[in-house]
Chain A
Amino acid sequence: MIPELGHFALILALLIALAQATLPFPEIKKRSAILLFVLNLAAFLSLMWAYIVTDLSVANVAENSHTLKPFVYKVAGVWGNHEGSMLLWSLMLSLFSMLVALSKVQPETFKTKILSIQGMLSTGFLAFILFTSNPFVRIGAPPVDGAGLNPVLQDPGLAIHPPLLYMGYVGFSVAFAFAIAGLLEGKLDKDWARAVKPWVLLAWSSLSAGIALGSWWAYYELGWGGWWFWDPVENASLMPWLLGTALLHSVIVLEKRDTLKRWVALLAILTFSLSMLGTFLVRSGVLTSVHAFAVDPMRGVFILGLLTLYTGGALAVYAWKAHTLESKAALSPLSRESSLIFNNLFMATACATVFIGTLYPLLMEALNAEQISVGPPYFTATFVPLMIPALLLMGIAPFIPWKKGNVNSLTPRLKLPILTTIGILLPLIWIMENNNGEETHPIGVWVGLAVALWLSISTITEWVQRTELKPERIKFLPLSSWGMSTAHLGIAVALFGMIGSTLWLQEKVALMKPGDVMEIGRYELKLEEVGGKFGPNYAADAAQIELKASGRKIDTLKPERRHYPVAQQGTTEAAIRKSWRDDVYVALGEQDSAKPEYWVIRAYVHPLVPYLWLGYVMIALGGFLALLGTRKKKA
């Protein structure tokens, strides 16, 4: 009964969304937006209920859940599959629409247009769910038990990863709607920027946090010993993040200087378009395999149609209306706004390289009906060189004043961070090259370290110069400034982690029997035993490994190989010993078939990797601080 109610709520929601999109009465639009959210929520909760009680007559539950699954993962299972995640997407879309309806966005005609556009978005996605991905379909003969959630996805990090990511993706729909409404009204000015900024900040911060969680999950759950793989699924979230970053910074330029109007409108449209591309291509499986089109052609065609309609429609509005937006302010080459334009250029170009690297293999696959990968070498060659000047600039830009900077006043302010960077870097190179014996560090290490040092030192210097370290100035520093410094410093901190964990990574694979010892870096690993063990819905081989650092025992690591009989799938539970200096990461591989007492043990030492997570947290926190700042200003 409850799934039927959910299904019915979804049908009603489609009608209401259609009303919100088309009916020309502002009051009705507002009420529809609220009602739409309630109906979406009802549908979502109905599905959740079906998961909680494991109603196996619902096809979606039978395929993706199991009675023995822990409660938390039953709930998270709602969005762990295509249909359910689309429902979550639709729910968030309606949530943002309701928030706009309840907000004080002015003028009324502008708000009405935004609500219409959001109604159109909801209509399309609800139709997509109802006609091609209905989560409430019943099956005639329910199975005895469910087919289980993908065991790899049974992880707290992943349970909250999609909602955060979607919050980011869908959050950009508000900027998208704002941009189209602004184009239609011919009004995209300072007020527009001030109104849209909190939404952009909310979406950007959520997306940052979502990407961070995904990366964290890949690192410690997938057992691959890395945190970023240039995988199409990861790239799909990186693209809107890069353009979103550009949007965030150009909105600030628009707010301060009433310029860059067309560019901001275009960015807002493209950022959300990439968000849609990200979710749908990933969720429909198209990005991982074009065969998904063949398996369910209706779904693929529908997705392509929706993307074409929304992005094409928005760009058409842009094409016909953008000339009405006039940017008057002339830009001086040395000014904050110009430096932000460079930021935008770097971000947009970086996004384009990721776009090509992600879609090109997909196109090739379409040609040959086979999978091909361009791989990390492509991204290392294109993305990384773009980021180096972007990050150097990031250290300078906050020093440059708005409107017109002056080289003479800028140089003394930059002298300190430049000299400090060199003063730390050169001795560091000297010490490390001399302590390293025969082996020299790749040049990339020094370039990376120089950039990270420069960015952190310049960010801190800028903060010190701004506050002059006087308590009252620190106290009254606007939250937006705190946000900027925190996020920028976060990038620098994350960069240290990235450099350490990729360029200084130590890695060893060995066939070991109990009693054997492996040496890696400053650690010694002694395999004590491998035994069997049972969890609630899995069986596992578990190893016990004694970890010694410089001769002293510091920990016992217990990596596992789990087997989930229901899903017929295995996972690797790596054991990690974390410290601020480095992570020791041990994964248990296969048992040797010829000599069963031998096991494959993979060990990695990831120097500085904790700073990556710390950096991620700071980046997202910076965004949320700036968001709080926009609320406070209004009050």
Chain B
Amino acid sequence: MKRNIINFLPLVIFLALVVSFATLLLRSEKIEMISKPIPTLTLDGLKTEDIKGPALINFFASWCTPCRAEHEVLMELSEKHNLPIYGIAYKDKKRDTDRYLKELGNPYKKIGRDEKGRAFIDWGLSGVPETFLIDSDNMIRYHHAGVLLEENMNATIMPLIQTLQSEGNK
């Protein structure tokens, strides 16, 4: 019997996985949505015309543990910095979202329900939580994937928010 190309397939796939994993670990760029207007939203509870920047748009879910971790940061932001936060609950049942917000507090000005995950795709998300900062023209100015930590806030987001808020006042 001759060697069969198919038998090499597992090896090739495995090596491809290793190589892509290794390169991904070394590379850290990503196609961004920065400086683009926000995609249209037609969600139950939140439509494009409801949104008025400067504001944060935060994708979250009650089943998502990292979201819990950033919740306090969001609470503080909405209480102390007078910045509207629009929440989009990704693939979450209303009952669960309500309970989640009842337990941890509600930092959101309005909440859109993205049960089908449509907005998730339109906004080019890769998971929850993700957060967008938009300016007074509803243009995306900053995109953060993953948990908002205190240090991210202090280092990049807060200065940006202050710039945007002063721009908006002009």
Q: Which of A307-315, A328-336, A338-346, A498-506 contacts B (4 or more CB under 8 A)?
A: A307-315
Q: A363-B21, A366-B25 are in contact. Are A315 and B103 (CB under 8 A)?
A: no
Q: A320-B3, A509-B99 are in contact. Are A312 and B28 (CB under 8 A)?
A: no
Give Cα distance in the complex from A374 to B146, angstroms.
Answer: 12
Give Cα distance in the complex from A318 to B14, angstroms.
Answer: 12
What residues of chain A lie closer than 8 Å to B1, measured between beta carbons? 323-324, 326
Task: Please tell me if the beta carbons of A367 and B128 are within 8 angstroms of each other in the complex.
Answer: no
Main SS at interface, chain A: helix
Partner pick for B4 among A312, A322, A366, A369, CB 8 A cutoff: A322
Task: Please tell me if the beta carbons of A293 and B127 are within 8 angstroms of each other in the complex.
Answer: no
What residues of chain B lie closer than 8 Å to A262, measured between beta carbons? 7
Question: Does A102 reach chain B (CB closer than 8 Å)?
Answer: no
What residues of chain B lie closer than 8 Å to A363, measured between beta carbons? 21, 24
Least Cβ–Cβ distance between A169 and chain B, in angstroms: 19
Question: Does B123 reach chain A (CB closer than 8 Å)?
Answer: no
What residues of chain A lie closer than 8 Å to B65, measured between beta carbons? 373
Question: Does A554 reach chain B (CB closer than 8 Å)?
Answer: no
Question: Does A106 reach chain B (CB closer than 8 Å)?
Answer: no
Task: Please tell me if the beta carbons of A375 and B128 are within 8 angstroms of each other in the complex.
Answer: yes
CB-CB nearest in chain B for A355 = B17
Question: Does B155 reach chain A (CB closer than 8 Å)?
Answer: no
Least Cβ–Cβ distance between B143 and chain A, in angstroms: 10
CB-CB nearest in chain A for B125 = A372
What residues of chain B lie closer than 8 Å to A373, measured between beta carbons? 64-66, 127-128
Task: Please tell me if the beta carbons of A315 and B4 are within 8 angstroms of each other in the complex.
Answer: no
Least Cβ–Cβ distance between B86 and chain A, in angstroms: 20
Interface residue count on the B side (C-beta < 8 Å): 36
Task: Please tell me if the beta carbons of A375 and B28 are within 8 angstroms of each other in the complex.
Answer: no
Give Cα distance in the complex from A315 to B8, angstroms.
Answer: 8
B1, B127, B128 interface centre (most CB from chain A within 10 Å)? B127
What residues of chain A lie closer than 8 Å to B126, measured between beta carbons? 364, 367-368, 372
Q: In the complex, which range does the number of interface residues on chain A fall in? A: 35 or more
What residues of chain A lie closer than 8 Å to B130, measured between beta carbons? 372
Partner pick for B63 among A270, A311, A326, A376, CB 8 A cutoff: A376
Task: Please tell me if the beta carbons of B127 and A374 are within 8 angstroms of each other in the complex.
Answer: yes
Task: Please tell me if the beta carbons of A509 and B103 are within 8 angstroms of each other in the complex.
Answer: yes
Q: A312-B18, A366-B25, A372-B146 are in contact. Are A323 and B7 (CB under 8 A)?
A: yes
CB-CB nearest in chain B for A290 = B25
Task: Please tell me if the beta carbons of A375 and B91 are within 8 angstroms of each other in the complex.
Answer: yes
Give Cα distance in the complex from A369 to B3, angstroms.
Answer: 43
Question: Does B80 reach chain A (CB closer than 8 Å)?
Answer: no
Partner pick for A370 among B3, B15, B25, B147, CB 8 A cutoff: B147
Question: Does A139 reach chain B (CB closer than 8 Å)?
Answer: no
Interface string of A265-276 (1 = CB under 8 A from B): 010011000000
What residues of chain B lie closer than 8 Å to A375, measured between beta carbons? 61, 63-64, 91, 127-128
Interface string of B126-144 (1 = CB under 8 A from A): 1111100000000000001
Question: Does A426 reach chain B (CB closer than 8 Å)?
Answer: no
What residues of chain B lie closer than 8 Å to A323, measured between beta carbons? 1-4, 7
Task: Please tell me if the beta carbons of B64 and A312 are within 8 angstroms of each other in the complex.
Answer: no
Question: Does A298 reach chain B (CB closer than 8 Å)?
Answer: no
What residues of chain B lie closer than 8 Å to A377, measured between beta carbons? 63, 91, 117
Give Cα distance in the complex from A175 to B140, angstroms.
Answer: 54
A311, A315, A324 interface centre (most CB from chain B within 10 Å)? A315
Question: Does A365 reach chain B (CB closer than 8 Å)?
Answer: yes
CB-CB nearest in chain B for A315 = B11
What residues of chain B lie closer than 8 Å to A364, measured between beta carbons? 126-127, 145
Give Cα distance in the complex from A366 to B127, angstroms.
Answer: 13
Partner pick for B14 among A311, A366, A374, CB 8 A cutoff: A311
Q: A308-B18, A367-B30, A375-B61 are in contact. Are A315 and B10 (CB under 8 A)?
A: yes
Question: Does B121 reach chain A (CB closer than 8 Å)?
Answer: no
Give Cα distance in the complex from A312 to B8, angstroms.
Answer: 11
Within 8 A of B (CB), among A280-325: 290, 293, 304, 307-308, 311-312, 315-316, 318-320, 322-324
Residues of A within 8 A of B (CB): 262, 266, 269-270, 290, 293, 304, 307-308, 311-312, 315-316, 318-320, 322-324, 326, 361, 363-377, 509
Known interface pairs A322-B4, A369-B146, A372-B126; 5 further A-B residue pairs with C-beta atoms within 8 A, sorted by A's residue number: A319-B10, A323-B3, A364-B145, A371-B146, A509-B99
